[in-house]
């Protein structure tokens, strides 16, 4: 089945630093989604990408849909303590069932 490889698995950064994480797949996705999960909560959709090459921003977050349709990255600029959490990439298959990456755990040091 489809698999999404997400890296890095974890990041421990200083407040104010920029963050970059990415997701790769062995197969093509027509949509890339980035979710954030806070402790004890469900994943919350941050950014949705629908076209190859698309670059989309949501506040301090920017995500891009790779032109090969097999990868995507998420950048967070000027990180703040509330950015702490687990970030997941996800892609839907033909039936819209989501396949999730393994997640990137972000820790921010004030």
Partner 1 sequence: DSGVTQTPKHLITATGQRVTLRCSPRSGDLSVYWYQQSLDQGLQFLIQYYNGEERAKGNILERFSAQQFPDLHSELNLSSLELGDSALYFCASSVTDGGYETQYFGPGTRLLVL
Chain centroid to CA 16: how far? Answer: 19
Residues 31-90 that bind partner 1 (CB under 8 A): 31, 35, 40-45, 48, 50, 88, 90
By beta-carbon proximity to partner 1, the closer residue of 40 and 110 is 40
Polymer length in residues for the chain: 110
* Shortest Cβ 110–partner 1 spacing (Å): 27
Q: Please choose, from the candidates 80, 102, 90, 98, the residue with its C-alpha nearest in 3D space to the C-alpha of residue 7.
A: 102
**53 three-class SS:** coil
* Shortest Cβ 36–partner 1 spacing (Å): 11
Number of residues that bind partner 1 (CB under 8 A): 22
Binding segment for partner 1 among 12-20, 21-29, 74-82, 94-102 (CB under 8 A)? Answer: 94-102
- Binding region for partner 1 (CB under 8 A): 31, 35, 40-45, 48, 50, 88, 90, 92, 95-103
């Amino acid at each position: 089945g489809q698999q999404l490889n997400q890296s890095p698995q974890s990041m421990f950064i200083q407040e104010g630093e920029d963050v970059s994480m990415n997701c790769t797949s062995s197969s093509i996705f027509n949509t890339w989604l980035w979710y954030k999960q806070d402790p004890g909560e469900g994943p919350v959709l941050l950014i949705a990408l629908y076209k190859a090459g698309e670059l989309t921003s949501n506040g301090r977050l920017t995500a891009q849909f790779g032109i090969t349709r097999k990868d995507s990255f998420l950048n967070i600029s000027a990180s703040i303590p509330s950015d702490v959490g687990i970030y997941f990439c996800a892609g839907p298959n033909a039936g819209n069932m989501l396949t999730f990456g393994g997640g990137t755990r972000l820790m921010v040091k004030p």
